[in-house]
Structure 1
Amino acid sequence: MTDEMLRAPAEVTYADELNWLESIDDGPRPFSWRLSPKMVRLFILGSEPADGLDREVSQKWFGDRSFVERSVVTLASDRGLLLIGDPGTGKSWLAELLAAAICRDSTLVVQGTAGTTEDHIKYSWNVSMVIAKGQSRESLIPSPIMTAMERGAIGRFEELTRSTSDVQDALISILSEKYVSIPELDEDNTVFAQPGFSLIATANSRDKGVNDLSSALKRRFNFVRVPVVTNKRSESEIVRFRTSELMHRHQIELDVPPSLLDILVQSFTDLRAAAASATSDDEKLESALSTAEQIGVLEDAILHSHFFGDRTLRAETLAQSMVSSLARRTPEDLAILNKFWHGVIEPRSKRDGGAWPEFLDGGKQAIETLS
Structure 2
Amino acid sequence: MSDLLRAPAETKYAEELDWLESVDDQPKPFSWRLSPKMVRLFILGSEPSDGLDRRISQKWYGDRSFVERSIVTLASDRGLLLIGDPGTGKSWLAELLAAAISRNSTLVVQGTAGTTEDHIKYSWNVSMVIAKGQSRESMIPSPIMTAMETGSIGRIEELTRSTSDVQDALISILSEKYISVPELDSEGIVFAKPGFSVIATANSRDRGVNDLSSALKRRFNFVRIPVVTNRRSEAEIVRFRTEELLSRHQLDLEVPPTLLDVLLQSFADLRASAAAAGSDDEKLESALSSAEQIGVLEDAILHSNFFGERALTARTLASSLVGSLARREPEDLAILNTYLHGVVEPRSREEGGCWPEFLEGGRDAIATLS
SS in 2 for 1:223: strand
Matched to 1:58, the amino acid is S
Shift in Å, 1:290: 1.1
Instruction: Please list the CA deviations of residues 107-144 of structure 1 after superposition, one character each: whole Å capped at 9, or x if unmatched.
Output: 10001011100000100111111111111111110000
Q: Which runs of 5+ in 2 are unaligned?
A: none
- Counterpart Cα distance in 2 of 1:151 and 1:346: 59
Shift in Å, 1:40: 0.3
Aligned length: 370
- Counterpart Cα distance in 2 of 1:15 and 1:241: 19
Which residue does the alignment assign to 1:54?
53
Which residue does the alignment assign to 1:29?
28
SS in 2 for 1:17: helix
- Counterpart Cα distance in 2 of 1:119 and 1:351: 61
Shift in Å, 1:225: 0.6
- Counterpart Cα distance in 2 of 1:116 and 1:220: 20
Matched to 1:99, the amino acid is A
Q: Does 1:238 align with 2:237?
A: yes
- Counterpart Cα distance in 2 of 1:282 and 1:213: 27
- Counterpart Cα distance in 2 of 1:253 and 1:118: 48
Which residue does the alignment assign to 1:100?
99
Which residue does the alignment assign to 1:364?
363
Which residue does the alignment assign to 1:127?
126
Q: Which runs of 5+ in 1 are unaligned?
A: none
- Counterpart Cα distance in 2 of 1:78 and 1:249: 39
Matched to 2:351, the amino acid is D
Shift in Å, 1:243: 1.6
- Counterpart Cα distance in 1 of 2:287 and 2:314: 23
Matched to 1:256, the amino acid is V
- Counterpart Cα distance in 1 of 2:29 and 2:53: 25
Which residue does the alignment assign to 2:306?
307
Q: Does 1:163 align with 2:162?
A: yes
Matched to 2:307, the amino acid is F
Give the TM-score of the pair, scaled to structure 2: 0.99
- Counterpart Cα distance in 2 of 1:358 and 1:162: 42
> What does 1:245-264 align with in structure 2 at a 5 Å threshold?
245-264=244-263
- Counterpart Cα distance in 2 of 1:345 and 1:142: 55
- Counterpart Cα distance in 1 of 2:86 and 2:329: 22
> What does 1:75-94 align with in structure 2 at a 5 Å threshold?
75-94=74-93
Which residue does the alignment assign to 1:332?
331
- Counterpart Cα distance in 2 of 1:281 and 1:116: 30
Q: Which moved more, 1:275-284 or 1:94-103?
A: 275-284
Instruction: Please list the CA deviations of residues 283-332 of structure 1 after superposition, one character each: whole Å capped at 9, or x if unmatched.
Output: 11111111111110011111111111121111111100000011111111
Query: Percent identity between the aligned chains?
Result: 81
Shift in Å, 1:42: 0.4
Matched to 1:336, the amino acid is I
- Counterpart Cα distance in 1 of 2:103 and 2:350: 51
- Counterpart Cα distance in 2 of 1:300 and 1:63: 24
SS in 2 for 1:4: coil
Which residue does the alignment assign to 2:112?
113
The runs of at least 4 aligned residues of structure 1 exceeding 2 Å deviation read none
